[in-house]
Amino acid sequence: MSDDRSWLRLFLAALTRLAPAAQASTAAGTATPAQPAIRIAPTLSRDAVLAAHLTPTLLQSLGARDPDLWAASIARACGARGIDTPLRIAAFLANILVESGQFRSLVESLDYKPQALLRQWPARFTPDAAQRLGRTAAHPADQRGIAEIAYGGRMGNGPSGSGDGWTFRGRGLIQLTGRESYTKLANAIGMPLSALPAHLETRDGAADSAAFYWATRHCNPPADRRDIVACRRIVNGGEIGLPEVRRFYATACAALAIG
């Protein structure tokens, strides 16, 4: 009974507040009934929309490592680089998942056997160099030496032996490689070049470098057209990993309700 009385008191109080307005309206000859207040929900910011799409649950469904830790970093990076629609997000995620082994590898491994070195860089390794630097039963791979030969004298790097090949080896969710690419990103984010390698091994740095690569290589237009093959060719330089990219893309599209 007390609940009924409380409701009645509130109802009568509301009528009392409305009465003066109704009387004034009637006196003016308009007799317009009081209108209920309409509350309009505020427009969500782009960051809020991205956070709603790029959730730990989505990343977990894609098999990403540590989804709870990665979601915010990826959402921030996507927001900064215009990867801000479901189609763009799906294509971006599909590629970075393949490139990083589902967020398990942020630094390029150069742990190659001699035969693999000759297949990967036939113009840069002699059989003798491949045998000396590659991983064999007798010794581990000399990854620093491999990087110097593989990347020395190109991509803005100094010659083999300068240290640039090793310093600017691939890092991030889409592995940024070479002094030239590192310098562009360092300038874009206002960071000293010397500090960038360590930054790229953090979640924020790895995500932002991947989003920077995606945006500066103009991957959004093919993503908007749902051309996942074109996106893959831009990221990979070919179609290596395309079946896995397609699988992740389909899962992401379903999770993001893309018809």
* CATH (domain of 237): 1.10.530.10
Flag whether pLDDT at 112 surpasses 60. Answer: yes
State whether 80 and 115 are in the same domain. Answer: no
Cα separation, 222 vs 131, whole angstroms: 42
Domain for residue 215, yes or no? yes
Range of the domain at 127: 109-169
Residues 214 and 87 grouped into a single domain? yes
Identity at 24, one-letter amino acid code: A
Where residue 107 falls (left for φ over 0; alpha for ψ -120 to 50; beta otherwise) is beta
- Tell whether the model's pLDDT for residue 38 goes beyond 50: no
Is residue 147 domain-resident?
Answer: yes
HEC per residue, 106-130: CECCCCCCHHHHHHHCCCCCCHHHH
Predicted pLDDT at 16: 45
| Number of structural domains in the chain | 2
Model confidence at 26: pLDDT above 50: no
| Weakest-pLDDT range from 17-26, 230-239, 242-251 | 17-26
- The verdict on 96 and 114 lying in the same domain is no
* Residue 120 in domain: yes
Same-domain check for residues 115 and 151? yes
Quote the pLDDT of residue 34.
52
What pLDDT, on the 0 to 100 scale, is given for residue 33? 52
The answer to whether residue 83 is domain-embedded is yes
Does 11 map to a domain? no
Residue where one domain finishes, among candidates 169, 189, 221 = 169
Give which of 150, 130, 151 is closest to 141, Cα–Cα: 130
3 state DSSP class of 176: strand
Same domain, 132 and 157: yes
Which residues face 171 on adjacent strands?
Answer: 107, 176
- Could you tell me if 235 and 119 lie in one domain? no
- Residue 164 inside a domain? The answer is yes
Determine the average pLDDT of the residues in 161-168: 97
Kindly tell me if the per-residue pLDDT of 48 is higher than 90.
no
3-class SS of residue 7: helix
Note the pLDDT tens digit of each residue in 146-155: 999 999 999 9
Query: For residues 12 and 43, which has the higher predicted lDDT (pLDDT)?
Result: 43
CB-based contacts of 1, cutoff 8 Å, min separation 6: none
Query: Can you give the pLDDT at residue 43?
Result: 52
Residues 78 and 206 in one domain: yes
pTM above 0.85, yes or no: no
Mean pLDDT score across all residues of the chain: 87
83, 205: one domain: yes
- Which of 11-15, 174-178, 181-185, 209-213 comes out lowest in average pLDDT? 11-15
Banded pLDDT at 29 (limits 50, 70, 90)? low
Does residue 201 sit in the same domain as residue 96? yes
Task: Give the sign of the dihedral formed by CA 139, CA 143, CA 148, CA 150.
Answer: positive
| Residue 113 and residue 102 in one domain | no
Please tell me the predicted confidence (pLDDT) of residue 8: 42
pLDDT at 23 over 60: no
Domain boundary at 117, 151, 169, which?
A: 169
- Distance between CA atoms of residues 22 and 1, nearest Å: 31
Mean pLDDT of 180-209: 97
Q: Is residue 145 part of a domain?
A: yes
Between CA 184 and CA 192 the distance in angstroms is: 11
Cα(91)–Cα(44) distance, rounded to whole angstroms? 23
Of 169, 245, 181, 242, whose CA–CA distance to 216 is shortest? 181
Phi and psi angles of residue 159, each rounded to the nearest 5 degrees, phi first: -65, 165
pLDDT band at residue 44 under the 50/70/90 scheme: low
Same domain, residue pair 99 and 223:
yes
Q: What is the pLDDT of residues 56-110, one digit of tens each?
A: 999 999 999 999 999 999 999 999 999 999 999 999 999 999 999 999 999 999 9
Whether the CB-CB separation of 78 and 50 falls below 8 Å is answered with: yes
Q: Phi and psi of 107, rounded to 5°? A: -130, 135
In a domain, 73, yes or no: yes
What pLDDT does 5 receive?
45
pLDDT of 10 higher than 50: no
Domain boundary among 169, 189, 207: 169
Indicate whether 101 and 203 sit together in one domain: yes
